[in-house]
A and B are shown apart, each in its own frame.
Chain A
Amino acid sequence: ILNVEQSPQSLHVQEGDSTNFTCSFPSSNFYALHWYRWETAKSPEALFVMTLNGDEKKKGRISATLNTKEGYSYLYIKGSQPEDSATYLCARSLKPGSARQLTFGSGTQLTVLP
C-alpha cells in the first residue's frame, strides 16, 4: 500500500446499528495514526491518535484499534445516532518531529438514517 486508503467510501446505516470502517496504510516506517471526524459545514475534529501496535482508544460510543504490523486501523461506532453522520478521515504520520506529519485518506462518509 503506497498511500492511506479508507473503505468503504460511503456507508448508510440505520439508527441504533453498530458499524465499523477501515483505514489501511504502509506498515513500514510507521509513527502514528490519526482519526478525524468531519461533519458537514463544520471543521474537522481530531478524535484519536495512536502509536503502538494493539493500541485501542475510546471516546463515548466511538472506538479505534491499531495494527501496525499489518498496516490497518478500524474505527467502530456502537449504536449509531444521526449526529454521528460525518466523514471520518484517517491520517498517517510520517516521522517524529516532522511538521509535514500527515498523509490523509479520502475518508468514509457515514450517514445514519433515523
Chain B
Amino acid sequence: SQTIHQWPATLVQPVGSPLSLECTVEGTSNPNLYWYRQAAGRGLQLLFYSVGIGQISSEVPQNLSASRPQDRQFILSSKKLLLSDSGFYLCAWGTGGIMGPQHFGDGTRLSIL
C-alpha cells in the first residue's frame, strides 16, 4: 500500500533562518507531488508541484523553493525565512489526470519568530 511521510511535524524558526521540509512517498512510482500551504483562516494554496525528477513548477512567486532529487522525494526549502512564511504545510501525491492530489501527509506546522 502507498504511504506518504512528511517531517517534521512542528517547527519553530527565527526570521532569516533556512528551512528544509521533506516528504517521501512509498508504494508508488512516478507520482505527481505537491506542496501546499494553509495560512491562518485561508484555504489550501498550491506552492509547487512536480511531475518527475528534477521537474518543478512554481505557482506563486515567493521566498520558497522546491526540489525533487528522487522519484518519491520532494523537498521544500528556503534560504531565509520571513514572518509571512508561517503556516501549515502539506505534502501530497496523486496519480494525475482527474483525481488531483489523492493522499496528503500529516503536515508541518511552521512558526516563524
Q: Name A's B-contacting residues (CB within 8 A).
A: 4, 6, 31-32, 34, 42-46, 49, 51, 89, 91, 93, 96-97, 99-107
The residues of B that contact A93 with a CB separation of less than 8 Å are 98, 100
B106/A104 in contact, CB under 8 A? no
Partner of A46, one of B44, B96, B97, B102: B102
Closest partner residue, chain B, to A41 (CB atom): B106
Residue of B59, B98, B106 with most chain A CB atoms under a 10 A cut-off: B98
User: When chains A and B are docked, how far (Å) is the Cα of A100 from the Cα of B55?
Assistant: 13
A-B contacts, 9 listed (Cβ < 8 Å): A32-B100, A34-B100, A43-B4, A44-B90, A44-B92, A46-B102, A89-B43, A104-B43, A107-B43
B46 in contact with A102 (CB, 8 Å): yes
B31 to chain A: closest CB distance in Å?
11
Interface residues of B in 49-106 (CB under 8 A from A): 49-51, 57, 59, 90, 92, 94, 96-106
Residue of A whose beta carbon sits closest to that of B101: A102
Chain A residues in 8 Å Cβ range of B59: 100
A42 touching B41 by the CB < 8 A rule?
A: no
Closest chain B residue to A6, Cβ basis: B43
Q: Is the CB of B98 within 8 A of A44?
A: no
The size bracket of the interface on B is 20 to 34
Query: Are A49 and B98 interface neighbours, CB within 8 A?
Result: yes
Nearest CB in chain B to that of A107: its residue: B43
* Inter-subunit contact B105/A96 (CB<8 Å): no
Q: Known contacts being A34-B100, A93-B100, is A100 close to B106, with CB within 8 Å?
A: no
Alpha-carbon distance A93/B101, docked complex (angstroms): 11
Q: Which residue of A lies closest to B99 (CB)?
A: A49
* Pair B42/A106 contact, Cβ less than 8 Å: yes
Cα A104 to Cα B38 with chains together (Å): 10
Report chain A residues within 8 Å CB of B92.
Answer: 44
In whole angstroms, what is the CA distance A45 to B104 when docked?
7
A99-B49 contact given A32-B98, A49-B99, A104-B43, CB 8 Å threshold: yes
- Which A residues lie within 8 Å of B44 (CB)? 44, 89, 91, 104
Report yes or no: B46 in contact with A100, Cβ–Cβ below 8 A.
yes
